Structure 1
Amino acid sequence: MRLKSPILCIGLSAPLYAQDIEHIEVNSYVKDYSPVSQIVVGKSVLSGELLAQQKASTLGDTLSQTPSVSSSFFGSSAGRPQIRGQGGQRVLITSNGMPIRDMSAISDDQLIPIEPFFAESITVLKGARATIPFGGEAMAGIVDVNDGRIPLQQEAEKEDKVEIQTGYNAATSLLSTLGGQQNDFAYNVNLLYREHSDYKIPNTAKAADCSNWGKLVLNSQLTSQCQVSLARPTWEHDGTKFVDVTPIDEQIITHQLANSANKVVNSSYYQTNLTFGGSQRFEHEQLFGLSVNYNAANRAIPGFIHPIREREHSHDTQQSNQSGNIRIYSSQYRIDALYQKQFSANSYLNQFNVKAAYSKQSDDENLDHLRVNKFILKNWQISPTLNYQFSEQFTGTFGLFIDQSEKQGSGNNNYLPDIKAKREAAYMMQNAAFGPLSLQLGARYEEVKYTPTINSHYQPGRGLGALVQNNKYDLFNHLVSLNWDITSFWYIAASLTHAERAPGMNELYASNPHYALLIEEQGNSNLKKESNKAEEFGTGLQFKNLSITANWYENNYDNYIYLGSTGVNRGGVYVKEWRQADTLNKGFEVELNYTLNTQNIGDFSFSAYVDETKNTPVYQFDGSYNPFTPEAFFNPDEAQMAEYFRRRLEGDSIPRTPADSYGAAVHWQFESFKASVDYQHNKAQQQLAKFEHASPSYYSLGANFSYSRSLFGFENEFFININNLTNQEIRPHQSYLRYLAPQPGRSIAVGIRAKI
């Protein structure tokens, strides 16, 4: 487990830090006018030496040290970032400012086809402000990976480097980045190969609750999540209720797949990633760039019983439990293009950009060499933006965005029909500075269309998702953000955002078992758009080498879309369906950073943080309504009835809300030596939905050491990275694999980085 540490990111909340943002993010021959750079409030940037220390095989793990960011964790090869307790369709992953279209937002077991090891910087924008340039998919924020695949640093020599890593319970990898420039043509080549065997853990793969008869016999959903079956229990009535009196010798728990000790079986993976990119400068401050990326992976999903539907006849479906190694063969190629025009001699125009991308992703899920699910996702998108200024104090951006996707699926476990999706949007952001006050206004209109098709590769199930129809949504977003530098060392910031999101593909059309999540997933084609009134307040103090920042946020969702319980078990998995109801997401994050520079023993950086988030249903009534009374039967109240069933099926929290956490870190550098120690504590999660069990608290300790030395004419850095130093059992509450596979135990990676 990697550790959250605010010293490893730059939390920015006001113009007071605008120069720091540009210093970290901008290393180009022109100023950065991208939409990512336009939003200042709620921004964290990871770059340089700290990014090199934190890079991991998944984007979620790479960012797990950033306050209010967690990983969905689906084995060592898949982990999607979650921001402030929200993930999936509310966190958008972008590459150099362009969305990455993949299936990871729909299913946590899917790989994000972007490589953190190539990143020059990773920017996290927290909060609904990001919906202005990026739409409703950024309701909770975005994660932008700047990997420089189209090189723009034409006035600076790009460093060629090679990195080799191996170790105990760690991935073995080879990374190479090469670049150069000939006159006005710049190019780069990135290559990575990585492999990891089944990873080691402190205890057993399954949680202790999966071997606890007393907990299993009273909770059939836990039995399903643990992939176990029980001998027939013995019940007696004690006068008020039935109690379990099964003799100990008859309390037999059968694991449908062996509960491996000290190792997670079938968790290995192999991965390659290759990128070619180039750009050419022309007269009149013009630039054209192009890049081609190919990513391929052979990944194992930690093992569990996988029921397969065998169609013996056209109208007859049987269910049989089969166990075996599940592997996903993934590949994606992506082409990015960029046209850029500067207007240095124009008083009113700054820059015009046109970005375009095309991608094709294929994922083939196999159970012991038998294909059970395959999908192909094709996407193209184009985004022109114009940056203008009326004066140095009044600047703005106008942008358009067009996106088209086509999803095709096949296999016995196909849970989605073929779907075509189209997004068209226009947005504007206007900045105004009045001395110590700065104001940002933003607005966006977006139209989203879905066109599903049922063919021979897909048969709808029996739930709401069986209703397959075209859908169209009109979305409006607007933003007001104010920043005030009260003094040279103290600022305050506030923002108010109205954001809207269209339901995702699976939220509308899923229908059939989704075995990767151990559920039957049912969408609902009648879902309305989701809206959010987002409020945020931040403040910060900086005295010489000490800085303290704090942010409070509150998101009031109308028609919040969530995956709700039904209590129904069908085909060996529990049925869950996508629903809508009002929900409140709120929390805070506080960070402290201090640097100490000495002449004799080096430079020190100290940091600490605390974050908290809550996701709670909003109930309008007192809960006294009972739909089963004669009065309610003859005169039903639909609003109170809906709330009655939500209270009993969902309870007082949204499922899988990440636990609150706090941590601290110390970093030291002296001459050629560097070292750091990080500590993170995740509290026990007591905010539970119905049918959820509390997750225990845990802590994790990590350390990094490096030594730089010139060898054979090259600048070399030898490093050791240790994660989960004390070998704790870590099962994040938000992970679907919480009961089946913990995070890796102690791992030690050793390697060398060489500049060539």
Structure 2
Amino acid sequence: MLKYSPIALLISQILALPVYAQSQQAQETAEHQHEDTEVIVIKASPLARTELNSAQPVSVISGEELREKQAHTLGETLATEPGINSTHFARVASSPIIRGLDGPRVKITQNGLDTADVSRGSPDHAVTTETSVAQQIEILRGPATLLYGSGAIGGVVNVVDERIAQQPVGGQRGFFGGNLSSADDLRDFSAGISADVGSTVWHFDGFTRSSDDYATPTYVNDEGERLDEVENSFIDAQGGTLGASYLFEKGYAGISYSRLDQEYGIPGHHHEEEGHGEHEEEDAHGEEETGPYADLTQDRWQLHAGFQQPFDGIDKIELRYGYTDYQHQEIEGDVPGTTFTNEQHELRITANHQLTEQWFGAFGYHGFQQEQAAFGDEAFTPASETDRHGLFWLLETREQVLNYQLGVRYETVDITAPTLELGQHSYDFDPLSASFGVIYQWQPSVSLTANYSFAQRAPSANELFANGEHLATRTYELGLNYALHEEEEHHIVIEPTERRPEIETSHSLDLGAHVEEGGHHLNINLFVNRVNNFIYEDFTGFNSLDLSFEHEDAHDEHGDETHDDHAQEGEHEDEHDHEEGLAVVQYTQQDVLLFGYEIDGRWQFNPQWRLDAFSDYTRAYTVDNTRNLPRIPSQRIGADVTYNQGEWESSVGFIWYAEQTRTAMNESATPSYALVNAQFNWFPQAFSRYNLSLFVKGENLTDKLGYVHTSYLKNEAPVAGRNFSIGLRGEF
């Protein structure tokens, strides 16, 4: 019998000439092909979608795959997913970048509710989700504003855990794991358990993690020093969650409380006396003083409830409420320099219904109230209050060949800075979003998708009202609320703007193909995104030492914290080592275009050998003058070869990062590099009841020096050097 390679089989399926008609025999064939495929329901959608029946590109990481990729930060955990990169803030506070977009355009949620930290406003602020105790992580690429509001114009990352159970767990179940690594002397351990107690389910999980500064190949930083580690990149974190839910005949109701305490170094803040490079100095007792670090605490309450068929015509109603009290301080020399706080309430009510025999849907309300404040040396954004209220409606069909998915959301956004004295202190916006998608089952194993989204985003408080030093980005930031006027050389006046900030409007088109053939699969996604009135930081060419307010009284009111220090030489310059001041960046709005692709596939050659590969690419520039947007990731190609022999499994792979020469103003090109990794897993059958696995992993085995173009600390925090780790994972 003639045998074909897995690639030939996939190509033959794609190129088959007859258009597939869903016969009964073909249905059975398709069902058989997906028998061995684990179907994971996407919790981020109320319509029980999976990766295979979503017109919008979605991916889910769970189980053993999640445990292998788990890192301290969410950004590093997802950094090798197709279309996803990391801000790589020295591995201490890295956030996800989706198709070149990050910050306020990427929504980070925990069980569908906002994480309620301040990570969307600055790259050195940590995301407060914890992946070591997560059940799965869901990534929605492209606009996801219908459910999550205008802050999700670039995508959503939803971290799902089991803190509030919706059904019995079957007695009790739990997990445990831990690992040690060499590059940063990491010590990491996590565990959790859920148990049925009568009509209730109780859950507890916790983790502890600490690491030192991480080692790198020898590199030269911006100050000309030769280093072999990223100084002040330590981590000390711990947290826990307690949850309980009550189960009844037609639903559930539960509550959870979580606490997070974390300290981490803030590399790149050159807060030292003259000496240029002495990040650690000896105090009067001869002991080393640590550099600036963040001390973060978060208390979070969540309430979930669901009711089956509460009314005629309503299949299910689900309520989710979250309250978060967040604070972090940036400390230098044991003295808090800047404090950031956030108090946030969020409520989502969703009702599922069947509109007709073919159309199913969900509608609901989403409310969000946030009070953020910052005070101290680097409080570059004033205290602000943000209120959002949204109504949404999603609809879809569930046919066998052709399915449609559409939705609409209307939102009101009010943003106020009550203590602001220069410029307008309050803005209101009314974003509107809509989408239309289609899934076509072309062949039994081939589906084609198309999705168009019209999405709008209101500016964030930081983009509106920022006015001060931001040392994490080494700039002086000015929001859309202000304008600059050059009265004379070396004298720049900050004055209120006469132009009202506009809503960002995205027109996004996704085209995809998914092939599932036995143990093989292939995903191809092409995207193009035109964003009108895109908000970004533009270098003005001015220096922070030359800035002053339009009104002298306003200057006097705020000068001690934000302006007088820039006009004086002496203590401030000695403390921050900014003898030449900071470059002034102004939030501005222009039309931009982003396009690219994501491809990933798996080829199961036989029961022992498997190949996984991926590639992605993003191009982004302004429409009028084709100026490149800053920190856009370069093209990547990666592959892993895995050999499985029952009780053990080994793999070796690489990821190649192309040179990035399409740079924005004040950016330098980033050279290409490749990382080689390997892993060995042992699954001892004697402990099969615990699903126990022991692993040894080697990362960057060639000790390659690599700079991350998306990082604000590109030259200060390269990727980690050769690293070996050992650990275990288990369930019960």
Q: Could you tell me how far 1:537 is from its partner in structure 2?
A: 1.1
Percent identity reads: 26
Q: CA-atom RMSD, angstroms?
A: 2.6
What letter is aligned with 1:64? A
TM-score, scaled relative to structure 2: 0.82
Flag structure 1 segments of 5+ consecutive residues without an equivalent.
1-14, 207-225, 229-254, 309-322, 461-465, 620-646
1:683 alignment partner in structure 2: 658
1:612 matched to 2:617: yes
1:563 alignment partner in structure 2: 537
What letter is aligned with 2:207? L
Q: Can you list the C-alpha shifts for 1:429-465, whole angstroms capped at 9, x where unaligned?
A: 010244411011100000010111227xxxx8xxxxx
Contact 1:303 1:326 in 2 (8 A): no
Q: Could you tell me how far 1:755 is from its partner in structure 2?
A: 3.5
1:582 matched to 2:586: no
Residues 122 and 504 of structure 1, relative CA distance in 2, 3 Å threshold: same
1:471 matched to 2:427: yes
Moved more, 469-478 or 712-721: 712-721
1:380 matched to 2:356: no
Superposition pairs for residues 620-699 of structure 1, below 5 Å? 652-699=627-674
Superposition pairs for residues 204-215 of structure 1, below 5 Å? 204=219, 206=221
Contact 2:55 2:438 in 1 (8 A): no
1:328 alignment partner in structure 2: 294
1:441 matched to 2:455: no
Q: Distance in 1 between matches of 2:297 and 2:36?
A: 34
Residues 385 and 35 of structure 1, relative CA distance in 2, 3 Å threshold: farther
Residues 755 and 21 of structure 1, relative CA distance in 2, 3 Å threshold: closer
Contact 1:205 1:742 in 2 (8 A): no
- Aligned pair partner of 1:592 in 601, 618, 634: 601
SS of equivalent residue, structure 1 residue 117: helix
1:743 matched to 2:699: no
SS of equivalent residue, structure 1 residue 539: strand
1:169 matched to 2:183: yes
What letter is aligned with 2:110? S
Contact 1:423 1:449 in 2 (8 A): yes
1:350 matched to 2:315: yes
Q: Can you list the C-alpha shifts for 1:699-728, whole angstroms capped at 9, x where unaligned?
A: 112222121223699653221122222111
Superposition pairs for residues 540-551 of structure 1, below 5 Å? 540-551=514-525
Contact 1:166 1:172 in 2 (8 A): yes
2:255 alignment partner in structure 1: 290
Q: Could you tell me how far 1:123 is from its partner in structure 2?
A: 0.7
SS of equivalent residue, structure 2 residue 463: helix
Q: Distance in 2 between matches of 1:512 and 1:192?
A: 36
What letter is aligned with 2:585? K
2:697 alignment partner in structure 1: 721
Contact 2:506 2:532 in 1 (8 A): yes
1:515 matched to 2:471: yes
Q: Can you list the C-alpha shifts for 1:574-609, whole angstroms capped at 9, x where unaligned?
A: 1111100110011111222211333xxxx3321222
Residues 421 and 27 of structure 1, relative CA distance in 2, 3 Å threshold: closer
Q: Can you list the C-alpha shifts for 1:172-222, whole angstroms capped at 9, x where unaligned?
A: 11211122111221111111000001111111362xxxxxxxxxxxxxxxx
- Aligned pair partner of 1:94 in 101, 109, 112: 109
Contact 1:201 1:744 in 2 (8 A): yes
Q: Could you tell me how far 1:366 is from its partner in structure 2?
A: 1.2
1:362 matched to 2:336: no
Residues 127 and 158 of structure 1, relative CA distance in 2, 3 Å threshold: farther
What letter is aligned with 1:169? A
SS of equivalent residue, structure 2 residue 151: helix
Residues 687 and 480 of structure 1, relative CA distance in 2, 3 Å threshold: same
Q: Distance in 2 between matches of 1:36 and 1:402?
A: 26
Q: Could you tell me how far 1:157 is from its partner in structure 2?
A: 4.9
Q: Could you tell me how far 1:27 is from its partner in structure 2?
A: 11
Residues 683 and 722 of structure 1, relative CA distance in 2, 3 Å threshold: same
What letter is aligned with 1:564? D
Moved more, 154-163 or 196-205: 154-163
Contact 1:34 1:97 in 2 (8 A): no
What letter is aligned with 2:598? E
- Aligned pair partner of 2:526 in 523, 534, 552: 552
Q: Distance in 1 between matches of 2:349 and 2:335?
A: 44
SS of equivalent residue, structure 1 residue 517: coil
Contact 1:25 1:121 in 2 (8 A): no
1:220 alignment partner in structure 2: none
Q: Distance in 1 between matches of 2:49 and 2:257?
A: 23
Q: Distance in 1 between matches of 2:679 and 2:330?
A: 36
What letter is aligned with 1:561? I
Superposition pairs for residues 273-312 of structure 1, below 5 Å? 273-283=239-249, 285-306=250-271
Residues 177 and 155 of structure 1, relative CA distance in 2, 3 Å threshold: closer
Moved more, 563-572 or 497-506: 563-572
Q: Can you list the C-alpha shifts for 1:527-552, whole angstroms capped at 9, x where unaligned?
A: 21100111111123333333222111
SS of equivalent residue, structure 1 residue 137: helix
Q: Distance in 1 between matches of 2:353 and 2:272?
A: 57
Residues 27 and 683 of structure 1, relative CA distance in 2, 3 Å threshold: closer
Residues 304 and 403 of structure 1, relative CA distance in 2, 3 Å threshold: closer
SS of equivalent residue, structure 2 residue 464: helix
Contact 2:219 2:705 in 1 (8 A): no
Q: Distance in 2 between matches of 1:164 and 1:592?
A: 30
Residues 713 and 543 of structure 1, relative CA distance in 2, 3 Å threshold: closer
Flag structure 2 segments of 5+ consecutive residues without an equivalent.
1-26, 274-288, 482-499, 545-565, 567-580
Moved more, 589-598 or 676-685: 589-598
1:147 alignment partner in structure 2: 161
Count residues in correspondence: 631
2:491 alignment partner in structure 1: none
1:490 matched to 2:455: no
Q: Could you tell me how far 1:155 is from its partner in structure 2?
A: 4.6
Q: Distance in 2 between matches of 1:590 and 1:415?
A: 40
Q: Could you tell me how far 1:21 is from its partner in structure 2?
A: 12
Residues 307 and 576 of structure 1, relative CA distance in 2, 3 Å threshold: farther
Residues 147 and 434 of structure 1, relative CA distance in 2, 3 Å threshold: closer
Q: Could you tell me how far 1:325 is from its partner in structure 2?
A: 0.8
1:267 matched to 2:225: no
Contact 2:42 2:50 in 1 (8 A): no
SS of equivalent residue, structure 1 residue 665: strand
Q: Could you tell me how far 1:127 is from its partner in structure 2?
A: 0.9
Contact 2:169 2:196 in 1 (8 A): no
Q: Could you tell me how far 1:290 is from its partner in structure 2?
A: 0.7
Contact 1:36 1:97 in 2 (8 A): no
What letter is aligned with 2:458? A
1:135 alignment partner in structure 2: 149
SS of equivalent residue, structure 1 residue 89: helix
Residues 357 and 20 of structure 1, relative CA distance in 2, 3 Å threshold: farther
Q: Could you tell me how far 1:389 is from its partner in structure 2?
A: 1.4
Contact 2:41 2:49 in 1 (8 A): no
1:4 alignment partner in structure 2: none
- Aligned pair partner of 1:419 in 384, 399, 403: 384
Q: Distance in 2 between matches of 1:89 and 1:76?
A: 20
What letter is aligned with 2:441? D
Q: Can you list the C-alpha shifts for 1:612-648, whole angstroms capped at 9, x where unaligned?
A: 11111101xxxxxxxxxxxxxxxxxxxxxxxxxxx5x
Contact 1:205 1:741 in 2 (8 A): no
Q: Could you tell me how far 1:115 is from its partner in structure 2?
A: 0.3
Q: Distance in 2 between matches of 1:450 and 1:483?
A: 38
1:527 matched to 2:492: no
Residues 45 and 715 of structure 1, relative CA distance in 2, 3 Å threshold: closer
What letter is aligned with 2:137? I
